[in-house]
Each structure stands twice: as C-alpha cells, then as structure tokens.
Amino acid sequence: MNMLENIIIIIYLAVLGYLGFVGYKQTKSSADYLIAGGNTHPFVMALSYGATFISTAAIVGFGGVAAWLGNSLLWLTFCNIFIGVFVAFVFLGNPTRKMGIRLNAHTFPELLGRRFNSKFIQMFGGVLITIFMPLYTSAVLIGGTEFLVAYFKVDYHLALLVMSVIVTGYVLAGGLKGVMLTDALQGVIMFVAMLILLFMVFDAVGGVDAGFTKLETVWNETVASLGSVNIKELKAGSPDFMMKLSMNWGFQGWNKMPLFLSEGWLFVITTITMGVGVGVLAQPQLVVRFMTVKSKNELNRAVLIGGVFIIAMTGIIFIVGALTNVWYYEFNEGKNALQSAGGIGKVIPHFINAAMPKWFAFIFLFALISAAMSTLSSQFHAMGTAIGRDVFEQIAGKHTQNSLLITRVGIVVMIVISVSLAYVFDKQPAIIARSTAIFFALCASIFLPTYFGGLFWKRMTKKGAIASMVVGTVITTFWLLFVHFQEAKELGLCKMLFGVNSLLSGKIIFVDAMIVALPLSALTAVVVSLLTKPESSTLLKKCFED
C-alpha cells in the first residue's frame, strides 16, 4: 500500500472510533445502550436497518451465488424490497414501536416475553439467538475476511482477527447508539460504491444489452459443454462440479429461471428467495430498529430511504455477480467466474481486485468492510443483549448494575464463538449464503407467528406462543438434521443413525425447512390459543391501549 491509502484507512478507523465515542458519551442508561434512547433520526435508522440487513453475506456470498446460478436471484431483491422494507416498515414498524414503548421493552425477546407476560418466552428467545446467530455471524465474518485477503494478500486468519477486534471495540463502547451512527456512515459508503460498480461493470462487458446477450454464449461454452460429463468424475465442490450440479438441478442459463419445480427452482425459490425474503421480518437485530424512532412519521420517512438502499445493494450485486462470467470469459482464456476465482465465495473479491482499477478496489474495500462491520456490530449487540437482558436478568429476577457488564462480556464470548466458526467453515462451498438462509429461515419459523400474533391478535395466548416457538424450533431442527439435502448430508447425524443422508428422497429434500416449519408453527399458535384461556384484560389493555 502507498502512503495515501494508509492515511485514508487511518482516517476511516479514526472516524469509526469517534462515532463509537459519541455513542459512548450519549449512553447514559440501559435504554440508550439497548435501543439508542428511542429518538433516532429516520435517515440514520433507515441506513442502519439497511446496512445491518445487507452484509458481506449479501455482497460476497449471494453475489458469488449469482455468478453460479445467474439472475434468478433477482427474485430475492423483489422480496427484500416488498417484504423486508415495505411490509416491515409500513405494517410492523409502528405497532412494534408502540408496543415496545407501552411495555418498556428493549430487545426483541423482551418484547415477546412482556406481550405474553412470560419469562420463559423471553429467555427461550434469548437462548435461541445465542445458539443460532453465531452461524450467521460467522458467514458475515467469512465474507469480509475473504475480501481483505484478496486485497491485502494477507493470511486469512490474520485478516479475520483484525476485523473482529475493530468491531468489538465500538460495539462494547457505544452500544446501539454507537452501532447506528457507524451504520449510517457505512451505509453511505456502501451505496456510493455499488452505484459506481454497476456503471463500471456494464462498461467492462460492453454495455447493458451486450452484457446480458453474452451471458448466453458464455453459458453454452463453459457450462453446457459439460453436458456429456458424468458429475461423479468431477471433484466435489470444484468449479466444474458446481456448474455441472446447476445443470442437473434444471438450470438452463444465467438469464433464465430453472425449470419449474426442478431441484434448482426449489432451491432458489424456497431457500434463497422465501427463506431470506420472509425471514427478514423476524430478525432480532432488525426488529429492534423500529424501537429506536419516536413516531410513525419517522418510520414512514424511512421507507423510501430503505427501499432505494436495498435496490442498490442486492439488485446491483446480483446483476454484477452474473455478469462477472462475461468478463472472465473474455479476459481469462475462456473461463467462467467460478473456474477463474476458484469458488463461490471468492468470485466478488477476486473480480473486484482483478477487473476493476486499483482506486476502485480501494473504495470497494471500504464498502465491504462497512457492510461486514455494520452487520457484525448489530449481530454482536443482539447476542450480547440476549445474554445480558433476556437471560441473565430473567434468572436474577431484576435489573442489576451488573446487567450491562454481563451484556458486554456476552458480546466478547459470542465474538470468540463466531470467529471460531469462521475458521472452521471457511472452505465449505457457498457457506456464506447457506448460513444466512438457514438463520433467516430459523427466525421466521420460530419467532414470526408469535411476533405477528402478539402485535395483531389479542386472542393469542401465552401457551399458544410457547407451543408455536417450540414447534418451529423442533421441526426446523429436524428438517435440517434429517431431511434437507445439504445440511443433513454434511452434518452427518442422519447417516450415523439411519445409514442414509436423508430420511426422505426426491425433490422434497430440496424444499427449505421454513416452508414446512412456518405453516405448522403458525397453525399451532392458532389452535393452541383457541383451546386455551384468553389472556387477562389487564395485560391486553397494557399491551394495546395508549
């Protein structure tokens, strides 16, 4: 690196440190630390929501999947905008904010627990976040670290350690105030970098029409040509193996959807599009953002900002991911993106450093670091508050002076666990996108019926909520361990107990766990609530009346 790059990096880290310090100075109470005092500006809130939602898992992970599977991933962009922003902000945002104020709730599990007057629900939610969120966090860490490795040509383990230490600093100091201030800065950097990237990529492949037209040629030359090859002759996980696998799954090109109800169609629609697109509604680190603004007007003002941000982030990176195949084919001896980069998670980092000018790679470095840090800081904050607020305080029976200390200790513990997982999972094919989809689907199956019912259905009972969460947890876990084609095979428990990779066979094993678990979890909530005694009028009045 030259002196100018060093200076810019130092300035960037100094600004992050300053914003963390501002958050620290403004953090006078647990409400400040947990929900940023409840008076956040809508611009800051919207960018924080978007930057937390869109991480390196989206940019590096799903961008790489787009290079593998093509523009079919744009259905996820549609779901992200319609469900993740419009439905979330317009229909869930204000009821969540108002109920959070009425119940003095500072975390997502605490909101659910106080809505149903249940310590068990709050603790159960906190424990589930503590157990499952490190899987998603490790995916974000891997995505950010891969780009640091590609840019600086440094050891993966060293890059992972440096990123983790930086994020730890400002999360511990500033709480959610510090997190949201840094999120807003990082969101602006991400947005600008993505717009520049889109124009530069179209220019590199000869324009919009030419780029998409060339995709057909590249598919025919590098993927369709594998038609006569037996997949068993290819090394598992290799680029050619992954491309041949996409053909076997019913993919016909990067500009086309896979054959209807084929394995590929089920994977794209049920796991990637529905799993992530619906699962976003029950993300603990995102729901808490609704509690940080002071009125419905602020939420309404945030919708447009959030929508434009999501379009720029996911829509652009999915298009870019697919078009990298054209650039590599023309400039790397007729190879496609996976063949050139060596793996799904390496495509975007490799492409930016190989195809883009050095000055833009440097700018994009900050976009990737920003995407990683904005999401990681929120994840670590959510996990820490789950341990301190939702578990420790409930066991202690009251808020104590040690609660924030326990929260901070919890953050450190969860960082260590997440970093450890990032060391272990780095070499798994498409691990970034898969881990993200698993966690989003888990949250939807476990939390969504209780969250929706708690906000909009007064007849829903504590027993109905508990039963729903337990059913969602059990069915999702069972499906991942014993049915779903990828997880069941790699976890190996099904093979060890029953001698097969999956208890079922056929296309059903490509259906995501959420598609099965969420309807059953919702049905359980309704049936059990109708069969049990309604909650007291005192509790309902407290929850629903101003």
What is the 3 state secondary structure string of 369-417? HHHHHHHHHHHHHHHHHHHHHHHHHHHHCCCCCCHHHHHHHHHHHHHHH
Sign, CA dihedral 67-78-187-357, equals positive
Is residue 516 within 8 A of residue 482, CB to CB? The reply is no
pLDDT at position 470: 96
Distances (CA, A) of 268 to 246, 273, 276, 313, 490: 11, 6, 11, 19, 20
CA dihedral 106→107→113→117, nearest 10 degrees, is: 0
**Over the stretch 467-483, which tens digit does the pLDDT of each residue have?**
999 999 999 999 999 99
Give me 236's structure tokens: 């598992």
Q: How far apart are CA 342 and CA 360, in angstroms?
A: 22
Tokens 């939702």 belong to residue? 390
What is the crossing angle of helices 119-152 and 156-204, to 10°? 70
Q: How far apart are CA 164 and CA 204, in angstroms?
A: 34
Closest CA to 223 of 354, 328, 331: 328
Q: What is the DSSP string of 483-505?
A: TSHHHHHHH-HHHHHHSSS-SS-
Region 3-426: CATH code: 1.20.1730.10
Is residue 54 within 8 A of residue 310, CB to CB? The reply is yes
Q: How far apart are CA 487 and CA 264, in angstroms?
A: 16
Three-class SS state of 116: coil
pLDDT at position 36: 46
Q: What is the DSSP string of 245-313?
A: HHHHTT---TTSPPPTTSHHHHIIIIIIIIIIHHHGGG-HHHHGGGGGSSSHHHHHHHHHHHHHHHIII
pLDDT at position 453: 94
Q: pLDDT by residue for the chain (546 residues), tens digit each?
A: 567 777 777 777 777 667 766 766 665 555 544 444 445 666 666 666 776 666 667 788 888 999 999 999 999 888 888 888 888 888 888 898 888 888 888 888 889 999 999 999 999 988 888 888 888 888 778 877 877 787 778 888 888 888 777 767 655 654 555 566 666 777 788 888 889 999 999 999 989 899 999 999 999 999 998 888 888 888 888 888 999 999 999 999 999 999 999 999 999 999 889 988 898 888 887 787 777 766 677 777 777 777 788 888 888 999 999 999 999 999 888 899 999 988 888 898 889 888 888 888 888 877 777 777 767 777 777 788 788 778 877 777 666 566 667 777 777 888 888 888 887 766 665 666 777 788 888 899 999 999 999 999 999 999 999 999 999 999 999 999 999 988 888 878 898 999 999 999 899 999 999 999 999 999 999 999 999 999 999 999 998 876
pLDDT at position 353: 86
Q: How far apart are CA 134 and CA 125, in angstroms?
A: 14
Give me 418's structure tokens: 């997440």
Q: How far apart are CA 12 and CA 370, in angstroms?
A: 10
Q: How far apart are CA 340 and CA 357, in angstroms?
A: 18
The gap from C-alpha 13 to its chain's centroid, in whole angstroms, comes to: 24
How many Cβ atoms are within 10 Å of 231's Cβ, its own excluded?
Answer: 13
- Burial class from Cβ neighbours inside 10 Å (0-12, 13-18, 19+) for residue 73 reads buried
- Burial class from Cβ neighbours inside 10 Å (0-12, 13-18, 19+) for residue 414 reads buried
Give me 259's structure tokens: 């054959």
Q: How far apart are CA 374 and CA 29, in angstroms?
A: 23
Domain boundaries, the chain: 3-426
**Over the stretch 439-458, which tens digit does the pLDDT of each residue have?**
888 899 999 999 999 999 99
Q: How far apart are CA 235 and CA 59, in angstroms?
A: 27
Q: How far apart are CA 447 and CA 450, in angstroms?
A: 6
The gap from C-alpha 197 to its chain's centroid, in whole angstroms, comes to: 22
Q: How far apart are CA 464 and CA 449, in angstroms?
A: 10
Q: How far apart are CA 212 and CA 464, in angstroms?
A: 50
Contacts of 100 (CB under 8 A, 6+ apart): 35, 106, 111, 290, 291
Contacts of 144 (CB under 8 A, 6+ apart): 56, 60, 163, 368, 369, 371, 372, 373, 376
Distances (CA, A) of 359 to 2, 5, 317, 348: 12, 9, 19, 16
